[in-house]
Amino acid sequence: MRKRIGFIGAGTMGAPMAENLYRAGFPVTVYNRTRAKLTPLMEKGLATADDLAGAVADKDVIITMLSDDAAVKEVVLGDEGVLTHCRPGTVLIDMSTVSPDTAIEISQRSKENGVHTLDAPVSGSQNAAQSAQLVVLAGGDQHVFSEMSDVFAALAKASYYFGGPGSGAKAKLVVNLLLAVTMQGISEALVLAESFGLKREQILEMMQQTVLASPFLTFKRELLSRGEFPAAFALKHMHKDLGLITEQARTRQAILPATTSVQQTYTAALNHGRGEQDMAAVFAELLHQAGLY
Ligand SMILES: NC(=O)c1ccc[n+]([C@@H]2O[C@H](COP(=O)([O-])OP(=O)(O)OC[C@H]3O[C@@H](n4cnc5c(N)ncnc54)[C@H](OP(=O)(O)O)[C@@H]3O)[C@@H](O)[C@H]2O)c1
């Protein structure tokens, strides 16, 4: 029998992920705090729940894909949270990007209820979620990870097991450090080009013929070119991740000078109301700081 899945959080990432699980043949029930976001999924045939209990009861696997640590703690550990509705033996997979400390806390509290957990955040944005080309970065018990291979195969082109609870969350922060710094590097190069009066589109095209060519640059090229930033990965979420990265680095005495500097740009962008835009809006922020926008 296919695993019955309760999916919580039908946001930018969660909605296409739930849809891919459904298309792969899993019986999926989706819950989202804001009910209106469930309508497109219902129209595609997915089952939805009116409340958390309806998405969790009698399921084999619960997946959460939520904004941040506070949301995951509230939804999983809260008074009427996921753990109060789960049967022992259920597998809870949190795929949100959260602190390794939160992942460990969730793992410990779940264990007390006989619930198995994986922290399994993903690399890849909305397009990768839609095309089931995500990369899963998992921590938890290895045998639980192995048992979930069919679930991950419906979402991702690759899944990696990094070790015990919190290891997936740690790996995700490693990836996002590079993503945030890369985004700022590309943006600063374009600011310099702009200050020289060079054509932005031509610079972007040329870069794709150099050793710096990358799928990431291809993905962000149109936004950078147009100077409009509808969110695939909201800047507020990358700002949140930079907070997690610098906090973790501080406690480990890891010195990350570029990351600390990049964090200031994301904070300024957030303060200038760019949080709901794509993370590529750091380019707009740097143009603004240079008096070019
Ligand atoms: N977008 C990307 O490219 C990307 C890529 C990799 C990883 N991530 C990570 O994946 C996670 C989800 O990202 P996303 O882009 O899908 O975010 P999103 O579009 O902002 O969706 C966030 C989801 O969390 C729910 N939520 C927030 N606070 C809640 C609360 N207190 N109680 C219940 N539900 C709550 C929202 O419900 P409502 O609809 O009711 O607000 C929504 O379903 C984040 O941790 C993000 O950092 C994102």
pLDDT for the residue 184: 98
pLDDT tens, residue by residue, 16-26: 999 999 999 99
Residue 1 pLDDT > 90:
no
Helices (H), the chain: 14-23, 39-43, 52-56, 69-77, 82-85, 100-112, 126-130, 142-147, 149-153, 167-196, 200-207, 215-226, 235-251, 257-271, 282-289
pLDDT tens, residue by residue, 215-247: 999 999 999 999 999 999 999 999 999 999 999
Local structure of residue 81 (DSSP, 8 states)? S
Does residue 64 have its Cβ closer than 6 Å to ligand 1? Answer: no
Question: Which residue among 170, 172, 220, 240 is the active-site one?
Answer: 172
pLDDT for the residue 293: 79
User: What is the pLDDT confidence band of residue 260, given thresholds at 50, 70 and 90?
Assistant: very high
Q: Which of 66, 76, 235 is the best mutation target for the ligand 1 pocket, counting ligand atoms within 8 Å of the beta carbon and taking the most?
A: 66
Residue percentage of the chain with pLDDT more than 70: 100
pTM: 0.96
Please check whether residue 130 is in contact with residue 154, taking contact to mean a CB–CB distance below 8 angstroms: no
pLDDT tens, residue by residue, 103-152: 999 999 999 999 999 999 999 999 999 999 999 999 999 999 999 999 99
Residue 272 pLDDT > 90:
yes
Q: Distance between CA 264 and CA 101 in Å, rounded? A: 24
| Coil, helix or strand at residue 2 | coil
* Atom of ligand 1 lying closest to residue 66 CA: 24
240 is catalytic: no
Residue 52 pLDDT > 90:
yes
Does residue 125 have its Cβ closer than 6 Å to ligand 1? Answer: yes
Residue 79 pLDDT > 90:
yes
For ligand 1, atom 21, name the residue with the nearest CA: 11
pLDDT for the residue 77: 98
* Atom of ligand 1 lying closest to residue 34 CA: 40
